[in-house]
């Protein structure tokens, strides 16, 4: 079995990967999900990538209608950097959203009960103006205590072309407000070279949540109620994302999958809409979903039935600060963990379909 400290470091890396991205060359990321209510999509199947045929895809927005998009027209943006509210001065407090509409303190009575014997001071208080980000408060410091270069390695993975996430804004005009349109999210696999981030990179997309595994444009992550106002992009509230992350050691591979509920994404677009800054993602992951996926990582690292794994699972449960649907219920035990992330994006292209994620074992 791996040595104790090395095992803790590896588990910390994997825990971080659970919530967004992979680290350097050992992991890659897929991010997908379904949009809010009211949107629907139809598409013809074709092949993509360099030299491939373009598909013809039409979409309708949510309530109030939206843009109709033909021939996969639209701006595609790729994540160029990520941050997690890391730092010793409470930086996590400004990352994310007030998902439950409350400004919770350690003595609030209108929130769910702490999980796994946690003191109320563990999940609470909230961040600035009620921002919910227990992941940034409790789990990011845990990861960094065991793996101080985690954030740097995550961003190095993006800069090396190992992974990113892609957001396609269907048929948005080059200027002006757009009150309703459809946007689509993709996970991008290994580019095979360092990206230029100049609009020419053709990223392979992960196939797991494509509606047609032969059509790289057929994302099942549809945000039908997206909008742009004064260059502020908003996915709309109460979206659902699915995060799929392949992980590997020298001898084994696995794939972890989590769903992010009650989620929202915003960012400030450049005037030419070819880049974005001040991006924020906020949402909630189901605590026991995280526990189940950490057990898969435990099997990958040969940590089943060890105190290291038991301790990590306990700390995950104690970070629970909200119900999994983004609400609060003082009569229930918290079963969700809020999370907030920051990002920036630049123009890219959707390439061909990349390889599927592996499936591995799990600790009981």
Q: Is 362 exposed, middle or buried (0-12, 13-18, 19+ CB in 10 A)?
A: middle
Contact 142/12 with Cβ under 8 angstroms?
Answer: yes
In a domain, 141, yes or no: yes
Q: Does the residue 211 lie in any domain?
A: yes
pLDDT tens per residue, range 224-262:
999 999 999 999 999 887 776 666 666 777 777 778 899
Q: Please state which of the ranges 21-30, 113-122, 163-172 shows the lowest mean pLDDT.
A: 21-30
Q: Residues for the chain: how many in total?
A: 364
Q: Specify if 362 maps to a domain.
A: no
Q: Which two tokens stand for residue 171?
A: 């048929």
Residue showing tokens 């999210």: 185
pLDDT at 3: 46
Provide the token pair at 342: 């920051």
Query: Looking at per-residue confidence, does 50 or 258 come out higher?
Result: 258
**What is the domain count for the chain?**
1
**CA torsion angle for 90, 96, 97, 103 (degrees, to 10)?**
-20
- Kindly tell me the sign of the dihedral angle through the C-alpha atoms of 174, 32, 17, 84: positive
User: Domain span at residue 235?
Assistant: 4-353
In this prediction, residue 362 carries a pLDDT of 86
pTM for the whole thing? 0.82
* Residue 58 belongs to some domain of the structure: yes
**Which of 69-73, 97-101, 108-112 is least confident?**
69-73
pLDDT band per the 50, 70, 90 thresholds, residue 37: very low
Residue 17: per-residue pLDDT: 61
Residues 45, 211: Cα–Cα separation, whole Å: 10
Residue 24 domain-assigned (yes or no): yes
CB 220 within 8 A of CB 184: no
Cα(124)–Cα(176) distance, rounded to whole angstroms? 41
Q: What pLDDT is recorded for position 60?
A: 37
Tell me the HSE value of 266 on the side-chain side, using a 13 A CA sphere: 14
Q: Is residue 361 part of a domain?
A: no
Q: pLDDT tens digit string along 275-324?
A: 999 999 999 999 999 899 888 888 888 889 998 889 889 999 999 999 99
Q: Is the pLDDT of residue 23 over 60?
A: no
* 204, 161 contact by CB (below 8 A): no
What is the per-residue pLDDT for 31?
Answer: 43
**Cβ of 142: how many Cβ atoms within 10 Å?**
18
C-alpha–C-alpha distance, residues 41 and 181, integer Å: 12
Domain membership of residue 363 (yes or no) is no
Q: Is residue 360 part of a domain?
A: no
Least confident range of 41-50, 162-171, 288-297: 41-50
């Amino acid at each position: 079995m791996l040595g104790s400290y090395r095992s803790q470091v590896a588990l910390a890396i994997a825990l971080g990967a659970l919530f967004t991205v992979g680290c350097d060359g050992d992991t890659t990321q897929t991010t997908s999900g379904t949009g809010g209510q009211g949107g629907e999509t139809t598409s013809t199947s074709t092949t993509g990538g360099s030299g491939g045929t373009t598909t013809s895809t039409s979409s309708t927005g949510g309530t109030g209608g939206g843009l109709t998009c033909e021939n996969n027209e639209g701006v595609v943006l790729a994540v160029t950097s990520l941050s997690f509210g890391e730092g010793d001065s409470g930086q996590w407090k400004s990352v994310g959203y007030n998902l439950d509409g409350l400004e919770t303190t350690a003595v609030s009575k209108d929130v769910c009960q702490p999980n796994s014997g946690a003191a109320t001071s563990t999940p609470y208080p909230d961040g600035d103006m009620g921002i919910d980000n227990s992941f940034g408060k409790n789990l990011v410091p845990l990861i960094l205590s065991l793996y101080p270069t985690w954030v740097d390695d995550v961003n190095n993975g993006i800069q090396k072309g190992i992974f990113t996430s892609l957001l396609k804004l269907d048929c948005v005009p080059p200027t002006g407000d757009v009150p309703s349109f459809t946007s689509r999210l993709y996970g991008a696999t290994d580019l095979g070279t360092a990206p230029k981030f100049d609009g020419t990179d053709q990223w392979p997309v992960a196939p797991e949540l494509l509606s047609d595994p032969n059509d790289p444009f057929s994302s099942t992550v549809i945000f039908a109620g997206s909008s742009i106002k004064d260059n502020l992009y908003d996915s709309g509230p109460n979206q659902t994302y699915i995060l799929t992350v392949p992980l590997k050691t020298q001898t084994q591979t696995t794939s972890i999958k989590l769903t992010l509920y009650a989620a929202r994404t915003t960012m400030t677009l450049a005037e030419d809409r070819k880049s974005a800054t001040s991006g924020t993602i906020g949402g909630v992951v189901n605590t026991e979903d995280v526990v189940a996926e950490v057990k898969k990582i435990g099997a990958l690292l040969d940590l089943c039935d060890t105190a290291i794994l038991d301790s990590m699972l306990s700390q995950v449960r104690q970070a629970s600060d909200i119900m999994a649907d983004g609400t609060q219920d003082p009569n229930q035990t918290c079963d969700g963990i809020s999370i907030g992330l920051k990002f920036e994006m630049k123009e890219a292209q959707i390439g061909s379909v990349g390889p599927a994620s592996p499936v591995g074992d799990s600790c009981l």
